[in-house]
Structure 1
């Protein structure tokens, strides 16, 4: 009888803790009105700035958000990144608390809550565990997402743009169903905030461009030119007037390294082409014949 009482008390304590977690994130959770059908959710991640999912914004004007205390406020579109399905809105005089990031990385098996805001009903939540922490992930837009989180917590309609939180109410990731055929994923909050900060500064994310077509090939030990990696990218086409052509890349080369990092597949390449490397001249390593050659290529920007 005593053991049953102890178990009941533990369950009650856990239940209260999860309810407290939803209440804690509530002030940083907003309703986003950016499409005709179901509104979506958003997270106040900095003063007067809201992070949400890009696919829930069908327009860039006449946007509004609704706060936890019932205020409806106009929102200014700041920027969007189609590749990661993230967008940023600016809301003047928002005044609400800012979401707190989880201080530990997501772990498989961790108990989590998916949270969203419904029109007129306040926050909604579902509970589950983190089933996968993976990456890189091909998003279908020619870009690989460095890291992603998958949970079996149910993302109800309108949850996209809302937070995946831990049992303390801290944000683990940003929920979206707009990346891979409607599958519910979360973008780790640290990555999402970095993207949001870049969008706030310039309205878009730089994506690198080499101007090649390639296919994955296995590298026999005798053809690795002293490298340890077992695969590379065989160049099957070099676009005219492209950065690759300007740097001397040839059809038949096997791309094995970029800026000091090994490239074993196309996802490695996409990750390395993002961000600060755009516009810079960097070393690109190729196996030509049976010898390793280092070329200097200025990374272009994908339109």
Structure 2
């Protein structure tokens, strides 16, 4: 058997195995997104691709089944549905985007309203750090595959060469493929399964960026040029209770540098520290101070 034929057969095997956990959402006259059986009884799909979240069903290789909305997070483009009869539907084998490199082969896998598995093949084009969506959602890494997402492919899986699902494909700007990584999906699914909603952190402060003077940076051995100065602290807010004062300059969050108010908002939007203590490093009176503040929920 030639090497090309072996590669072709391997690709087909990857698509067939991973495609068993891919479904079509609410088939009908209009084009509907695909979805992923992420965990037993939980279907994940692209939130912005749904016109409605009511009275939906899925089509899998074994037939049609109703699903019920568990919760949604438009800021990360993730909607999660529950599936009552999940025994007959294989669960996706979820991977980690940390294993990916630019140039790795990947597949976009979807399912048609008629029940057929569909696939498109390409490579990882861009792999970057975490980013914040236009609506404030924290996405764990910037993952853009060089794939053509045909109609109905939004909400489907991005699959690596080991057959693992490393994310959910959605439409980026100008119709290009963009992938919500598995780490983000896991975090959103965990929160929705636990609370039925996405928790957003709350400090209760007004902020603006501030440039640090060379003299202050030298005196405190700082390597960053800016911080975040507090211009308002709401009474009885987590910030007020935790001891933050007007004029404090926020410099770090559990060791993560805070260069701009957007850095603070991004960490609060993650919601994974709601109800927990966070070490906030500040400049107060020309000295570095660290406060422990319990993050509230917005």
Instruction: Please indicate, yes or no, whether the TM-score normalized by the shorter chain is above 0.5.
Output: yes
Between 198-207 and 278-287, report the one with greater CA deviation: 278-287
Select the residue among 185, 205, 209 that pairs with 1:216: 209
Q: Is the 8 A contact 2:41 2:85 kept in 1?
A: yes
Select the residue among 160, 163, 179 that pairs with 1:186: 179
Q: Give, in angstroms, the shift of residue 36 of structure 1.
A: 7.6
Alignment partner, residue 205 of structure 1: 198
Alignment partner, residue 98 of structure 1: 91
Q: Is the 8 A contact 1:131 1:152 kept in 2?
A: yes
State yes or no: 1:280 paired with 2:276: yes
Separation in structure 2 between the aligned mates of residue 205 and residue 182 of structure 1, nearest angstrom: 27
Q: Give, in angstroms, the shift of residue 272 of structure 1.
A: 3.3
- What TM-score comes out, normalization by structure 1 length? 0.85
Gapped runs of 5+ residues in structure 1? Answer: 1-5
State yes or no: 1:110 paired with 2:98: no
Change (3 A) 1:36 1:239: farther
Q: Is the 8 A contact 1:26 1:68 kept in 2?
A: no
Q: Give, in angstroms, the shift of residue 66 of structure 1.
A: 0.5
Q: Deviations over 1:106-126 (max 9, x none)?
A: 211111111111222612211
Secondary structure at the counterpart of residue 135 of structure 2: coil
Q: Is the 8 A contact 1:54 1:82 kept in 2?
A: yes
What number of residue pairs does the alignment pair up? 293
Alignment partner, residue 299 of structure 1: 295
Change (3 A) 1:202 1:75: same
Aligned pairs for 1:143-182 within 5 A: 143-177=137-171
State yes or no: 1:72 paired with 2:64: yes
Q: Give, in angstroms, the shift of residue 54 of structure 1.
A: 1.7
Between 74-83 and 181-190, report the one with greater CA deviation: 181-190
Change (3 A) 1:248 1:139: same
Alignment partner, residue 123 of structure 2: 129
Secondary structure at the counterpart of residue 52 of structure 1: strand
Change (3 A) 1:240 1:155: farther
Q: Give, in angstroms, the shift of residue 56 of structure 1.
A: 2.7
Separation in structure 2 between the aligned mates of residue 35 and residue 288 of structure 1, nearest angstrom: 61
State yes or no: 1:82 paired with 2:82: no
Q: Is the 8 A contact 2:127 2:143 kept in 1?
A: yes
Change (3 A) 1:207 1:58: same
Select the residue among 236, 244, 247 that pairs with 2:239: 244
Aligned-pair RMSD on alpha carbons? 2.7
Q: Deviations over 1:154-182 (max 9, x none)?
A: 1112212110012342212111227x676
Q: Is the 8 A contact 1:28 1:43 kept in 2?
A: yes
Separation in structure 1 between the aligned mates of residue 176 and residue 267 of structure 2, nearest angstrom: 25
